[in-house]
Amino acid sequence: MFGELLVTVGVLLGLFVVWQLWWTDVEGARTQQQIVADMGWEEPAATDNGPQTAVATEHRDAPPVLDEPAAIGETFAQMYVPRWGSDYLKPIAEGTDKATVLDTIGIGHYVGTEMPGALGNFATAAHRTTYGKPYNKIHELKKQDALVVRTEDTWYVYKVTDSKIVLPQNIEVISTVPGVKPGEPMPEPTQRFITLTTCHPMFSAAQRYIVHGELDYWAPVSEGTPKELLEEQG
Amino acid sequence: MYAALWNLLPGPTWARVLLCAGIGIILLAVCFEYVFPWLSDYMPFNDTTVGN
């Protein structure tokens, strides 16, 4: 009787591990794919002479910036990372709440940080492992790799500038100007940053893996697709 | 415990095996859908947010 109980507990613990490490991923990837499909955004403009998409012109003036969504869990952007495969596409939603954003939608935007394209820091978080693991391959990113954020009407093409590993309490990585600690005077931002934050090492929450990038150019979706999404990764 | 369950189930052996499999699948589904998501909130490795 007691032995049977122990065996049952053992099996249940094993099943929990299977659920956490495998099933949340299966479910998360499926949900996130569905969310992107449900957003139903128009395909970028095609060329006049054929089915290929046009290459978007690179705009380097001030890009249009959306207002920050009021509701946690509202999807407002999509993320493409060519280094992670041409099929990599994840939704981005407001907030970094675990249950409503990170465990389901995938990538979360830290509330109060800037929106894509704005002067300052567009700071995001996502799981490194489990729940669809949007930032699983963050360690593969190299300097100058493209991080492409799309809102319904605009492409924002960022380039990776820096990767590092910090402790969870080093929240200055998501400051308007990255590196300025809370309490220190915040200089007027002159650059348009993006920040990716995720857990490190894998399957642990002891540290954070941080990738910073800077806006290279922007383009209206109606003009085509950024060249970074059309070429093969070297 | 499992012997008692086996004796409780009606029908011939094949029916009991089938019933056991059915119960197992239902338990698995309940665990995956409700019990484990609830339990995961209490796991230290899922405590990823830092308070301000």
List Cβ neighbours of A91 (8 Å cut-off, separation of 6 or more).
Answer: A32, A35, A36, A39, A75, A77, A78, A79, A105, A106, A107
Residue spans per domain, chain B: 2-40
A127 is catalytic: yes
Reported as a single tens digit per residue, the pLDDT across B3-44 is 888 888 888 999 999 999 999 999 999 999 999 999 988 887
Report the SS3 class of residue A72: coil
Average pLDDT for residues A13-24, to the nearest whole number? Answer: 94
How far is the alpha carbon of A165 from chain B, nearest alpha carbon, in Å?
15
Q: In this structure, what token pair is assigned to residue A92?
A: 């981005």
List the catalytic residue out of A128, A200, A208, A212.
A208
Lowest-confidence segment of A106-120, A149-163, A184-198, A219-233 by average pLDDT:
A219-233
Above 80 in pLDDT, residue A169? yes
Mean pLDDT of A77-82: 96
Contact at CB, B1 and A98, closer than 8 angstroms: no
Give the whole-angstrom CA distance, residue A217 versus residue A147. 11
Residue A203 has a pLDDT of: 87
Confirm whether the ipTM is greater than 0.95: no
Q: Whole domain around residue A156: which residue ranges?
A: 2-229
Q: How many domains does chain A have?
A: 1
In a domain? residue A103: yes
CB distance from A5 to chain B under 8 Å? yes
pLDDT of residue A55: 87
| Active site annotation includes A192 | no
- The band of A232, judged by pLDDT with boundaries at 50, 70 and 90, is low
Predicted pLDDT of residue A46:
65
Whole-structure pTM value? 0.88
Which pLDDT value is given to residue B46?
Answer: 72
A234 within a domain of the structure (yes/no): no
Q: Is a pLDDT exceeding 50 seen at residue B51? A: no
pLDDT tens by residue, A206-229: 899 999 999 999 999 988 899 999
Judged by a CB distance cut-off of 8 A, whether residue B8 touches chain A is: no
Domain assignment present for residue A113? The answer is yes
Q: How many residues does chain B have?
A: 52
Q: Are A145 and A163 in contact (CB under 8 A)?
A: no
**CATH code at A160?**
2.40.260.10
A195: amino acid identity, one letter: T
Query: How confident is residue B52, by pLDDT bands cut at 50, 70 and 90?
Result: very low
Our CA-based measurement puts residue A168 at a distance from the nearest CA of chain B, in whole angstroms, of: 7
Instruction: Please tell me which of the candidates B31, B40, B45 has its beta carbon nearest to residue A15.
Output: B31
* Residue A212: active-site member: no
Using a CB–CB cutoff of 8 Å, tell me whether A201 touches chain B: no
**Mean pLDDT for all residues in chain A:** 91
A188 part of a folded domain: yes
Summarize the confidence of residues A60-76 as an average pLDDT.
Answer: 94
Q: Model confidence over A88-142: pLDDT tens digits?
A: 999 999 999 988 999 999 999 999 999 999 999 999 999 999 999 999 999 999 9
Q: State yes or no: pLDDT of A47 exceeds 70.
A: no
Cβ contacts from A onto B, under 8 A: 39
Percent of chain A with pLDDT over 70: 95
